[in-house]
Amino acid sequence: MRPLLSTRICPLCLFTTGSRTAPALCQPWATQRSYAVARGAWKGGRSSSPSRMVLSDDVSRPAAARDGRGRDSEKARRRPGPFGGMNQTEFRGRDRSPGAAPRSQGSQGGQNRDRGKKDERRTKAMKMQSSLATVSYGHRTRMKANISDVESFDQFELLPDVKRAVTDEVLKGMTDIKPTPVQRLAIPALLGQYTGRGPKPKANPGRQEFLLAAETGSGKTLAYLAPAVHALKQAEAADPEIAKYREYFAQQREAMQAPDYTGPREFEPHPTAARPKVVVLVPSAELVDQIGAVAKSLSHVAKFKSVTLSANKSAAVIERGIYSPGGVDLVVTTPHLLSSIADSDPNILSRVSHLVVDEADSLFDRSFSAVTTAILDRALPSIKQLVLCSATIPKRLDNYMVTQFPDMVRITTPNLHAIPRRVQLGVVDVSKDPYRNNKNLACADAIWSIGKDAARHETSVPGEVDVKRIMVFVNEREKTQEVAEYLVSKGIDAVALHRDTSEQRQSEMLGSFTTTEPMKAAIEVSQVPAGKRSLPNTKVIVATDLASRGIDTLAVRHVILYDVPHTTIDFIHRLGRAGRMGRRGRGVVLVGKDDRRDIVAEVRESMFMGQALI
Ligand SMILES: Nc1ncnc2c1ncn2[C@@H]1O[C@H](COP(=O)(O)OP(=O)(O)OP(=O)(O)O)[C@@H](O)[C@H]1O
């Protein structure tokens, strides 16, 4: 007997039959077929509306929002009874939520024939968690169109010095420099520049609010810093107070050079002393240093004063930085530190025109949100541009933005919420032999095999190999130390990234993970005196993703997910430490007997399809 799935329904008489015999048995079917064949539109008995392999760009809109005809046919298709749900041009059960990215985003998408059914199964467990806000397919497509014809930083209306600072300082040494998708979208938008696509932006004399959301390692820092520095320099050129100070400074300096000068030898403080115009908030001291370094590079050419403030610095250094008589234009800091400075000097936020909240998903999370919003409230009266920046938009953040900033312009890249394209994910079932739920052993084994594999490839110097830098992620901070100690006991150079790790060791290790400089080691896997083997060509950081959120770990090719992350948000941030800026990367997830295999399988399949996680 022919299986039920291969039967077809004649659209006119609703006669059910096998596909081969249909034309012979059913006259309307045959008539329709020959008519359609003659038009070149035969789709095997389906109606001539779009094939289900073509996605409509209003796929994210609910059926009720579509035209009347659509609603009627929808009703008909959903009619209960033996023929209800037949003759559909698209699969009803398919995930129609906007977060489920279209096939066209992936390279392998064409392989999936019974796509609708598979998609539903594929995202079921992720949907149960459903922690990420969704982005519609139509929105992604529009954003894709908006970036297609931007090829160079010259196309942006940035001041020449700022442009030079980006290409000759921050991206120094790179050839064929092109803006990344998020830069193509965000820089013109933040500059208020019209790119010839979409509706022309209205000049907004009040406050502008932007969300800037793009995948990990995609260049978001420059996307917000370059326009902020541009605005800073423009405002400075038009500020009468600064012009007056410059005049005073030049006169005073000349006067001081006279041999008979007896007046004060110090200058009056600059109008911007302790009154920055641009403030960038980030969640950790490491990120303060990282973003601060990009700002510093920009300042060398664009000429402005940037300062980094973090709890790693002494009170004296912080005070010297912020109260420098030469003024301060841009501050990169954490909300807690800025808040405590603002408690003793409320004027510190009185001139802020540009406030950037980087890693906004963390900074509006429970642990930070009270202090972040307090800063926001203080700074809002003077703010001209507020930018929230993140690689993930959790539903929580989405709701906050909807209620607090309903007019916020959302700039999201077409691949938002997808794991970088060139990162692959392998799964190790640690519940089986030889590990029997010993994750420590499985983790050490994975690192040893990466190290041994790398030891086979000598550099141009005989006997020398590249050092592999590997990140291991655990769910709980307390676990970092335990895992790191175990790895060290197995001859692996591992360090836990947490508050109690010595600052020097931590920054040494992070430094070697964020540099693009190759590191070399002797090829031999050595025997230390006690007979314990050691692996000299790997370096390992064990961390929770909070400790490493946003860190630009360019040197990392391997990420080990010791614990299965609690949410897809954590998957994105953890795997996003590899595969930065289009580099290749590999993730390995250790799945124990109590772990959510369904989630891992779905994440893996989404990655394979090149689709966004939901
Ligand atoms: N146009 C560009 N071309 C090449 N490299 C770039 C470009 N823009 C930025 N980069 C580099 O890409 C790397 C990642 O950038 P950045 O740290 O801003 O990523 P991100 O999007 O903020 O990532 P995350 O979400 O993980 O914080 C940096 O090393 C940066 O120098």
Give the pLDDT band of residue 67 (cuts 50, 70, 90).
Answer: very low
Among left, alpha and beta (phi > 0; psi -120 to 50; other), residue 102 is beta
**Ligand 1 atom 31: residue of nearest CA:** 171
Tell me which CATH code domain 423-609 carries: 3.40.50.300
Is any ligand 1 atom within 6 A of the Cβ of residue 218? yes
Is any ligand 1 atom within 6 A of the Cβ of residue 220? yes
Looking up tokens 């509706």 gives 199
Is any ligand 1 atom within 6 A of the Cβ of residue 585? no
- Overall fold of domain 137-254+268-412: Rossmann fold (3.40.50)
By DSSP bridging, strand 16-18 and strand 278-281 are: unpaired
E-assigned strand segments in 242-370: 278-281, 306-309, 330-333, 354-357
- With 0-12 CB in 10 A as exposed, 13-18 as middle and 19+ as buried, what is 171? middle
In terms of Cα–Cα distance, which of 297, 313, 300, 145 is closest to 221? 297
- Average pLDDT of the residues in 201-206: 68
The two counts, helices (H) then strands (E), for the chain are 22, 18
| DSSP-derived secondary structure for 498-512 | STTS-HHHHHHHHHH
Residue pair 392/569 in contact by the 8 Å Cβ criterion = yes
What pTM did the predictor assign? 0.78
Is any ligand 1 atom within 6 A of the Cβ of residue 180? yes
Q: What is the pLDDT of residues 84-136, one digit of tens each?
A: 333 333 323 333 333 333 333 333 333 344 445 555 556 666 666 667 888 88
Is any ligand 1 atom within 6 A of the Cβ of residue 602? no
What does R_g of the chain's alpha carbons equal in angstroms?
Answer: 29
ipTM of the complex: 0.99
Neighbours of 572 (CB within 10 A): 25
The preferred substitution site among 166, 170, 180 for testing ligand 1, maximizing ligand atoms within 8 Å of CB, is 180
What's the rounded Cα separation, in Å, for the pair 603 and 572?
10
Domain ranges of the chain: 137-254+268-412, 423-609
In the numeric block, which tokens belong to residue 26?
Answer: 């059913």
Tell me phi and psi for residue 568, to 5 degrees. Answer: -65, -25
Tell me which of 194 and 21 has the higher pLDDT.
194
DSSP lists the bridge partners of residue 383 as none
Could you tell me how many residues make up the chain? Answer: 614
Asked if pLDDT for residue 194 goes beyond 90, the answer is no
Tell me phi and psi for residue 593, to 5 degrees. Answer: -70, -30
Q: What is the pLDDT of residues 372-423, one digit of tens each?
A: 999 999 999 999 999 999 999 999 899 999 999 998 999 999 989 999 889 9
Residue pair 590/442 in contact by the 8 Å Cβ criterion = yes
The preferred substitution site among 187, 220, 225, 413 for testing ligand 1, maximizing ligand atoms within 8 Å of CB, is 220
The preferred substitution site among 163, 358, 552 for testing ligand 1, maximizing ligand atoms within 8 Å of CB, is 552
What's the rounded Cα separation, in Å, for the pair 433 and 447?
18
Is any ligand 1 atom within 6 A of the Cβ of residue 283? no
78-92, 316-330, 474-488: segment of lowest average pLDDT: 78-92
Topology match between the domains 137-254+268-412 and 423-609: yes
Tell me phi and psi for residue 411, to 5 degrees. Answer: -105, 110
In terms of Cα–Cα distance, which of 524, 520, 574 is closest to 550? 574
65-74, 221-230, 356-365, 553-562: segment of lowest average pLDDT: 65-74
Answer whether the bond into residue 434 is a cis peptide, omega within 30°: yes
**Ligand 1 atom 29: residue of nearest CA:** 552
What's the rounded Cα separation, in Å, for the pair 369 and 399?
14
